[in-house]
Structure 1
Amino acid sequence: MKLFTPVAIAALYGLAEAAKQGADVFIFGSSQQSSTENPRLPREVARHIIMQRTSRSRYGSNLRDLPKSMDAESAVEYIARYGKSPAPLFAHSDAIDASQLVVILEGVDNKAVGQIKEAFTNAGQDVAFAISDPPSATANSRLMTQFQNMGIASQQQCDFASAINPFDNNCWTGASSVVRYDVSKSPATLETILTNVPRLAKFAAAGDLEALVVVLPESSRYSALSHWSAAAATLHSQRSAETETVFTSSNVLSSNAKTPAPSSSKKTKPKTKIPQCFASFNTCMTQTGNCSSHGDCINKYSEGDKSSCFTCSCKATILKAGEGPEHKGRQTQHWGGNMCQKEDISTQFWLIAGFTITIIGAVGFAIGLLFSVGEEKLPGVIGAGVSRSK
């Protein structure tokens, strides 16, 4: 026990130190002037810097998911400092912007971190900033999936020597690219990176490339942070809860539908229709599967009446927007049917039908008016006031 206690204390201390370890970020060819300050930024701000650099537009993402630990003014200042330089508003320049590359290195142990820092320092690049709370490998996979959907990251992994060459059409499909390497799973990748650092610095010095390299420590692989954005993590949890609710409701409906009804003959009886009224609230909720999770059972009649008629009262469902610039706003979905199981599209139908009928009527009226005006006889030439000379 005396021997185990120091070992356990040392292990816990090592885990605590690993949790405090941040992720160093290096920037090659940045137009921003180097500074002795190496701030520790939250992962959300680092994500905005990456999105701003790799976006095919002038800015890559909105600022709705900035961390609460930093004020918005400071976060925007860091994004402007470490992001790519914006184009001038009024001045016209014929210069071609440098290609933007983001390299995510995972599974870097302390020895590899020292080797990478030494190679980058020899190339004239120091640490630009550090990520105070580096996310897990799962978060990196989700971020790469987002870049792949945007067409910035390739489905096939390119080797580091080809990835840093902006003129390689096999790895570059546009002005920006994102690559990801796991150093612990592929030790040869580290050797390739260290060998090609001078070549990377040469592309950056020529103005052909700007590269942002994120060095994630091995301790962050199994971090509890499964997203680069806290807002994305909250949205993912809400979607998972909604999917679980819908899945449970579907099971209830399918189990009720699959319950065999007793039959005295070989002929199959028609399916039982959902009645218009139920005798009690519990019966209504059970047989309709909580109104397909789209409403509640209410009594259609007043409380003073002796008879009861419980039926489903459908409610609208608000579909929240997803993550990314292509998902904006929200959509309201209405439901109908005895079990609120059918999507109500009557509003959309009447809008389209009314608009179509109005347009057809307006066009028909305009054509009829043109015909009526064209059929009128023109007045004859009036010769009054014109006389012969004697």
Structure 2
Amino acid sequence: MTEANGSLGSLDDFIAHSTEMLFVARGDGALLRWSDALGQVVGPALAQGTTLTELFHPEDRCTLTTSWEQVRGSTAPVELHGRVLSAEQSYRPFSCVVRGARTDGLVYGAFRDAPPGDGVQGELARLRERDRILGALIDALPIAVWAIDADGTYTYHDGKALAAAGHRPGQLVGQNIFDLYGDMADGIERALAGEAQHGLSEVHGCVWESWMVPLSRAAGHVRSVVGFSLDVTEGQRAHEALQTKLDVIEAQQRVIRELAAPIIEVWDGVLALPMIGVVDSARTAEAMESLLEAISIRAARFAVLDLTGVQVVDTKVADHLIKLVRAIQLLGAEGIICGIRPNVAQTMVALGLDLSAIVTKANLRAGLTHCMQRLSRRPPAPRSSP
């Protein structure tokens, strides 16, 4: 134990007195130890527990947070770039190489000044521009942008839409998404398994349309998931209200259709279908379907089509009526057309329609009389012998 403590003390002495800008941090980025050289450059901003992110310029922190995910749980070195607050209270461009250790969970790194002309400044400019664009979108659109690591812990949490959920930017950082939203665990687990997700959910009284994008390491293992949640509450509520209105309209139209072509059982085995107003192909087809179903259910022997209230009949409607009568006959019943107006009769003749095989009567009374006469001539059922 004494030897191990001596080794640890020697390591601390090495870091403290190194001429390089060295540091040791926890997995969450909190600084534990640093060299005097780094302390001289950064100044009083360095303190026990200060996170590495706090040293960087606000515009560079988003990029740093994303890159830090590559460090956690990996021993491969990762190079970071950004502007660091110096002892002169100005930001200087630095590059930083960090590497995680699996044995103790700590992160070891070293800062160095970014040399001119190495392309770092251009890369930093591009990253800052991308960060500004992302920031503008986050501030202007009703979205929430978040990220979780492989364990489900929030590492990023921002966006204008957070206010609708009662959250502040960064409020959930460090908390576990499974503890907060366990009812959505299936989609989150799929995303952590490498499968992109998209769907709707209702949380905090709002409807969210969310996309989850897994970010993988070189080996193919998911290291984090980036999520975009769009507040679609207003649109969803409007859609539901519209759907409710459409359902009401459809129900009203169904009632109107039934009233426009009511099927009346005037006698045992006799159905009447009075048609009124304008009759088109769609209405005739609906009437055919309803009447044939009623004949089948009620075992009717006669179906009387009353056209007294029909003013105009075109070729398609007349063809539907003839087909309807033939379909009635196929069901074992007799179809009767009555109440044909003179102008409708002229139209049918002009169209060359053959109604010779169809029973036609002058009006509904004559049609019903025909049915009663046919029923009265029906032979009585045979009696069984004692």
TM-score after normalising by structure 2: 0.20
Relative to the length of structure 1, the TM-score reads: 0.19
- Larger-Rg structure: 2
Give the number of the structure whose residues are more often strand, by fraction.
Answer: 2
